[in-house]
A and B are shown apart, each in its own frame.
Chain A
Amino acid sequence: MKDIEEKILSGERLTREDGLRLFNCNNLAWLGNMADTVRKKKCGDVVYYNVNCHVNLTNICTSRCKFCAFGRDFENQGAYAMTKAEALAVVADAIKNPNLAGLHIVSGLHPTWTFENYLEIVKAIHETYPTLYIKGFTGVEITHFAKISGLSVKEVLIKLRDEGGLQAIAGGGAEILSDRVRQIICPKKATAAEWLEVAKIAHGLGIKTNASMLYGHIETLAERVEHLIKLRELQDETHGFQNFIPFPFLPKNTELGKTVKQTSMWDDLRTIAISRLMLDNFDNIKAYWVMLTVPVAQVALGFGANDIDGTIHKETILHDAGATSPTALSEDNIIKIIREIGRIPAAVDCNFNILRRL
């Protein structure tokens, strides 16, 4: 691996083949060290977090992806769809925390809701709490809104931005950007090209987006590398991705979980590290503590990550899939986790503007 090490240290771009070799190399501490070296050079010692609240407007979803334990049909137990008042009540509860900076809003593809239904709720939230940032709606939701409304993706995005106060787009829904994989695990939602198209159009409008990868199910290692390369190529073109979040698949209560086991710590850490190494044009790599668990997320900050997500307030989607982490973290706790490893915590908004540096 000497040649790859030299490339990394000299800042030379890694190829598809290099990416595969990294996945097939079992030297985890070395990988971590390489990724950490790159992180240090690029991001310094600051670790970003946000004081946020997740709002999931509905779990009723036409997509019913095989990796998801959150989506339901109307008649299923626990199915819900929030009214405007209910959504506002969630925010009202979260804003008791004076440091709350903003919201992460993602939801199911409700079979009878119109785009206007979604927009009305976001509008109401934005009008009631104009100082909170709103990050939300994945490429999958945006594609869905365009289809059901007859509007173009661009028009949907402009409405969400101008009327709903949307400041950034969430990274979810990318799963694995391979239509072979998507046909098996999520055939009813946006294709790889559609997901990428939403990101591209958003970037064109000056709306920043995040990117993610759901790994550890039926994809091959080559497909993981291909996914990273697709993101890297679009980023070369637009520079609109702010952040990359690797999501390990959580199998509990999911259709895929009947045959697929949860990823190991080893896989999670190498995937974080390789993401940092391959995505040389991304500034931020997130260790999402909800899926990784808090101790693993802390360790992942030493494997290339420089962001640990947020306080969340009350996480639902992944806890339906058996996440063993808490449903929220206090800001003090997040600060402690970051400081314990000798790094500097900084609270940011959804566009990585630093709100407080500690």
Chain B
Amino acid sequence: MTTQQAVELLTHGNPIELGIQADSMRKKFFDETVTFIIDRNINYTNICQSQCKFCAFWKKIDSSEAYLLSQEEILQKVAETVAAGGTQVMIQGGLHPDLEISYYENMLRAIKKNFPQIKIHSFTATEIQHFAYKAGLSILETLKRLQAAGLDSLPGGGAEILVDEVRRKISPKKIMSADWLNVMETAHSIGMESTATMVIGFGETMAQRIEHMQKIRQLQEKTGGFRAFISWTFQPGNTLLGGEKTSSWDYMKNLAVTRLYLNNIKHIQGSWVTQGERIGQLTLAFGADDLGSIMLEENVVRAAGTNYEMSINKMVNLIRGAGKFPAQRDTEYNVLKRW
């Protein structure tokens, strides 16, 4: 699909017709299995220099609600994850002004030492660049050190819309598009795979959405290191940017186009976290083959006023309700267990 065709589809396409096409595309790669992972988000700090206007999670360092988790607290959370059948932790935090790279290395080592079976799928490109800058290291050196300490893969967050014109409006202090792509390319070059994400509903144009997808598709052509693509909608509650949520209709249309346009990325994930389980289920007819995590803990979306609860039981029923076969996966998308 050409870029122009994709812009046209996003602008004038009928979501249901796009859904049919996206569903046929999914069927080329997958049977009717729908995967999910059991993991926990661990947000080590909410202190953040970036202070993006679309985020309701960050606090200033002197805020009474600011926190930084100790290593004991983090290990406790990992232990709980393991006990609940989790296979992965997604550790992400604000851009803390004072932490050294050793803080992160020690965290990773301690987790791997105590829980060697846990995959550490952690730190967004934004954090990696921040760690590198603080330590005076290159992105490559930073990633190598973190990899040596136990970092397995990178989550795709912080991409939002990879168009600087949009980024300057919504997150001027955060890394720009080329930086995000550079971190990913560097990670892929040392065998550290990642996912890619996209957040819609900031008032960006359809052409800007496709520009975002185009950049991801191009890098994927080069590295093949993106395992999955995950899109969701901006949650305006308690944020400086504010405004209204974009509709589920818009989300479904965009989701279908991601499956059609990103034909070199295997897994497309539906977002029950931002859409709720009902629209979450519907994503399975619009190109999604995976429903992400049941998330034993999630803080960032909840801070923006959106709070949907999920459990293994609910997830299994939701997938079955769509006439599909639920399966628990690991970070690399290997099926671990079927229901």
Contact = CB atoms under 8 A, between A and B. Distances in A.
A264 interface: yes
Contact of B247 (A32, A268, A298): A298
A302 B249 contact: yes
A264 B23 CA distance: 19
Interface in B14-35: 14-17, 19-20, 22-23
B297 interface: no
A33 interface: yes
B250 A295 contact: no
B249 A266 contact: no
Interface centre among B20, B279, B282, B286 (most CB of A within 10 A): B282
Interface centre among B14, B17, B278, B284 (most CB of A within 10 A): B278
B317 A36 contact: no
Given A295-B278, A296-B279, A36 B14 contact: yes
Interface in B250-279: 250, 252, 275-279
A341 B249 contact: yes
Interface residues of A, number: 25
A28 interface: yes
Nearest to A26: B323
B248 interface: yes
A269 B321 CA distance: 12
B110 interface: no
Nearest to B277: A265
B68 interface: no
B181 interface: no
Contacts of B248: 295-296, 298-299
B334 to A, nearest CB: 26
The binding surface of chain B is classed by DSSP as helix
Contacts, number: 79
Interface in A252-266: 261, 264-266
A28 B285 contact: yes
Interface in B294-339: 317-318, 321-323
Contacts of A268: 278
B281 interface: yes
B279 A30 contact: no
Contact of A267 (B22, B284, B321): B321
Interface string A19-37: 0000000111110110010
A45 to B, nearest CB: 12
A198 B16 CA distance: 38
A330 interface: no
A337 B248 CA distance: 10
A17 interface: no
A33 B17 contact: yes
Contacts of A237: none
A295 B321 contact: no
Given A26-B323, A32-B16, A32-B19, A269 B282 contact: yes
Interface in B44-58: none
Contacts of A261: 317
8 contacts: A29-B20, A32-B19, A36-B14, A261-B317, A266-B321, A296-B278, A296-B279, A341-B249
Q: What are the 3 A-B residue pairs with the smallest beta carbon separation, nearest first?
A: A264-B321, A29-B19, A26-B323
Interface of B: 14-17, 19-20, 22-23, 247-250, 252, 275-279, 281-282, 284-286, 317-318, 321-323
Given A27-B285, A33-B20, A264-B317, 20 more contacts: A29-B19, A29-B22, A32-B16, A32-B19, A33-B16, A33-B19, A36-B14, A264-B278, A265-B277, A265-B279, A266-B321, A293-B278, A296-B248, A298-B247, A299-B249, A299-B252, A299-B282, A302-B15, A340-B247, A340-B250
